[in-house]
Amino acid sequence: MPDATDTLEVESTSPLIDSGWRTIRPLGAYQLQGLAWVDPQALWLRQLPRLPFCQATLGASFLALDRVRGFILLINAENDHSEILNPYTLEPFLDAAGLCLFQDSLWFCREETLYRCYLPDWQVEQVLRCSYPIYGVAVDEGGIYVACQKSGYIHCFEHTTGKEAFRLPAPGIGEENLALHGGDLWVSDRLEQSVYCLNRQTGDIKGVALTPFAQPTALTFDKAGQPWVAYGGDEPYLRDNPNNRDTPLEIAHRDICVIHPLVFSSGQHYTLSNGYLLEMAYLEEISPLDACQLDNLEWRIALPANSLRQKLLRVEPLGTPFRLETVADQQVAIFDFPELRPYEARFFGWRAWLEVRGIKYHLTPADIDESLPLPEGFAEQYLVDNDELAMDKPIVQEAARVAVGTETNILRKMLKIRNYVYDRLSYALRPKIETPDLVLERGVGSCGEYVGVLLALARLNGIACRTVGRYKCPPHPEQRGIPLEPTYNHVWLEFYVPGIGWLPMESNPDDVVERGPYPTRFFMGLPWYHVEASKGMRFETTNYRDRGVRLGDLALNHVRFTIHGELGAPSTPQRHSSEA
């Protein structure tokens, strides 16, 4: 065991991302709904009547569709400069979506219609019309693919006849944009916050990666095969209104418009995507509410864990030295106080540096060997009521029965349990965590109460699962070197699949559509900004807990994150372990 004043340090295996892969924020752009890579030396580009371009445009290699203004933009990735290529032909592109460059013609969607625009003269013609609105298009010699959210399919049409040749199930439930690359069909889904790689003939999912930003709206590949994803939406900010002298600061909204590379690496059944080097500080401030004398106080705080998507590089003590203890492959910092006097003031905690990435599993029910048993000891630990789960209450037992019905496959059972809980509950911040029976009766729960209900229903159906937490870094990957403080803590869960291992599942963030359908972005997936610091154990506790002394009565916590940079592509992922 290391000495109490020692720090823990390991070597990083992921250098920071190449400076050439920068986040592009196109000047003058509003909302990008289509993206394509173009050769800067393309003949049609040199024949445009808009020439000559200014010096800032030279070398630009991205075409983008801005649906707000109807701009087709030529974007320089090196300096964010945008050039409007269609200054006299804006109307056809207003409220349009999707963009594909194929044989000197631009293809795009608008409501139910697919259009083609010949370059460089900008003659627009209708190609085909669908029954419902379409959002994405991808074209090559093999066919014309369009994505339709309402039908739930990606439709493939023949070039010669314009008739539908076949259709593929859409991999997600949101608005989807398309690209063809390497013989595969690639799909970005705005609501799912994911990019899918599909077999273009069967629609089978070959891989899926979570995106580092929310609301991906378009994707393309550069000449080196690097995928780039556009993101849209809006964000709140404080606006200074000089006309309002009493309260000059007002909340307003502004557009988000960025293009960023998607960095990923696939392993067995999962994909790691964009990652970041984080610094996390967790500090406790002793500030008792009442005078109390505590002798031989032992205060335990879990450290960030190591997992497929997270690597703890270094940790050091803050304020007070600690000793390390390993509990089920997880490290815990233990702070010893021989005497805590009434109203004593003190700082203690830890500062950690870690690498975090997005992870998304692509498993199907057919991948599960249902004959495999749980590892020894799992049933006694992860199938019982050991955390006030009210598994003996009739309302909880009935919910567990109704949630899965006659389903037997573990993946389908877990998804049905999740969807059942989403149907029954609405999210709200609560002052305390109640037991699952009370939460089901009330119909409203916090993230911790969602987890409690999910754990109870899963365990009653024979699915081993555990709580995971404890904090999320504010999801602003562009804010480097700036202290970021989360407003609340957060918990989610993992469920165990024999032969595969522990799979993550969010508590409530996917409960975004009233009565469904619900996205599955965080079912068997976790975004980069989650920090895993306690798995199946308490994140923080003392040896006075059983004597009725609450942490909140003794101390205030201070949590701070700093994003130091984006990581390069991960090394080849390891095989997923099925061990505990």
Question: Could you identify the residue written with the tokens 């508590």?
Answer: 507
The burial class, CB within 10 Å (0-12 / 13-18 / 19+), for 272 is: buried
Burial code (b: 16+ CB inside 10 Å, e: under 16) for 334-367 equals ebebeebeeeeeeebbbbbbbbbbbbbbbeeeee
With a pLDDT cut of 70, the percent of the chain lying above it is 95
Flag whether 258 is in a domain.
yes
* pLDDT surpasses 60 at 507: yes
Confidence of residue 2 (pLDDT cuts 50, 70, 90): very low
* Tokens 């815990």 sit on residue: 332
* Separation CA 422–CA 128 (nearest Å): 39
Q: Which of 511, 466, 472 is nearest to 493 (CA)?
A: 466
Instruction: Identify the burial level of 570 via C-beta atoms within 10 angstroms of its C-beta, where 0-12 means exposed, 13-18 middle and 19 or more buried.
Output: buried
What is the domain range of residue 548? 368-557
Shared-domain flag, residues 387 and 519: yes
Q: pLDDT class for 440, splitting at 50, 70, 90?
A: very high
Cis status, amide bond into 338, omega within 30 of 0: no
Give the model's pLDDT for residue 369: 94
Taking residues 418-426, report their average pLDDT: 96
Q: What's at 253, amino acid-wise?
A: H
578 inside domain: no
| Residue 245 near residue 11 (C-beta atoms within 8 A) | no
Distance (Å, whole) CA 209 – CA 214: 13
What was the pLDDT predicted at 13?
65
Q: How many CA atoms lie within 13 A of 68 on its CB side?
A: 10
Q: Is the pTM value of this prediction over 0.85?
A: yes
* 173 lies in the same domain as 42: yes
Residue 35, amino acid: L
pLDDT class of 336 with cuts at 50, 70, 90:
very high
Answer yes or no: do 375 and 258 share one domain: no
> Does residue 324 lie in a domain region?
no
CA–CA separation, 27 and 403 (whole Å)? 50
pLDDT at 334: 97
pLDDT at 481 over 90: yes
Q: Is residue 545 part of a domain?
A: yes
- Among 57-66, 406-415, 556-565, which stretch is predicted with the lowest mean pLDDT? 57-66
Neighbour tally for 206: CB within 10 Å: 15
Strand-pairing partners, residue 246, are none
Span 181-198, pLDDT tens digits: 999 999 999 999 999 999
**Region 496-513: what's the mean pLDDT?**
94
CATH at 53: 2.120.10.30
In the predicted structure, residue 349 carries a pLDDT above the cut 80: yes
User: Residue 231 domain-assigned?
Assistant: yes
Query: Each residue of 290-310: pLDDT tens digit?
Result: 888 999 999 999 999 999 999
Same-domain pairing of 49 and 194? yes
Residue 518 has pLDDT above 60, yes or no: yes
| pLDDT score, position 575 | 52
pLDDT in tens, 124-144: 999 999 999 999 999 999 999
Q: Does any domain span residue 579?
A: no
pLDDT of residue 20: 53
Res 56: pLDDT: 79
The predicted model gives 425-434 an average pLDDT of 90
Q: How far apart are CA 120 and CA 44, in angstroms?
A: 5
Asked whether the beta carbons of 327 and 537 are under 8 A apart, the reply is yes
Per-residue confidence band for 51, with pLDDT thresholds at 50, 70 and 90: low
* Segment 529-551, tens digit of pLDDT: 999 999 999 999 999 998 989 99
Residues 225, 231, 236, CA angle at the centre, nearest 5°? 155
Judge whether 109 lies within some domain. yes
State the pLDDT at residue 44. Answer: 87
Amino acid at residue number 432: K
Q: How far apart are the first and last CA of the chain?
A: 22
Give the domain CATH number at 447: 3.10.620.30
Check residue 15 and give its pLDDT: 66
Give the per-residue pLDDT at 138: 98
Which one, of 151, 168, 155, 100, lies nearest residue 128 by Cα?
Answer: 155
Burial per residue of 391-418, b for 16 or more beta-carbon CB atoms within 10 angstroms, e otherwise = bebeebbebbeebbeebeebbebbbbbb
| Average pLDDT score over the chain | 92
Instruction: Check residue 18 and give its pLDDT.
Output: 52
Residues 57 and 192 placed together within one structural domain of the fold: yes
Using CA atoms, how far residue 150 sits from 69, 169, 174, 216, 435, in Å, is 25, 12, 9, 18, 39
Q: Is residue 17 very low, low, confident or very high in pLDDT (cuts 50, 70, 90)? A: low
Is the pLDDT score of 223 beyond 80? yes
Of residues 142 and 50, the one with the higher pLDDT is: 142
Residues sharing a CB contact under 8 Å with residue 189, sequence separation 6 or more, in sequence order: 170, 171, 172, 173, 174, 175, 176, 195, 196, 216
Total number of domains in the chain: 2
- The reply to whether 553 falls in a domain is yes
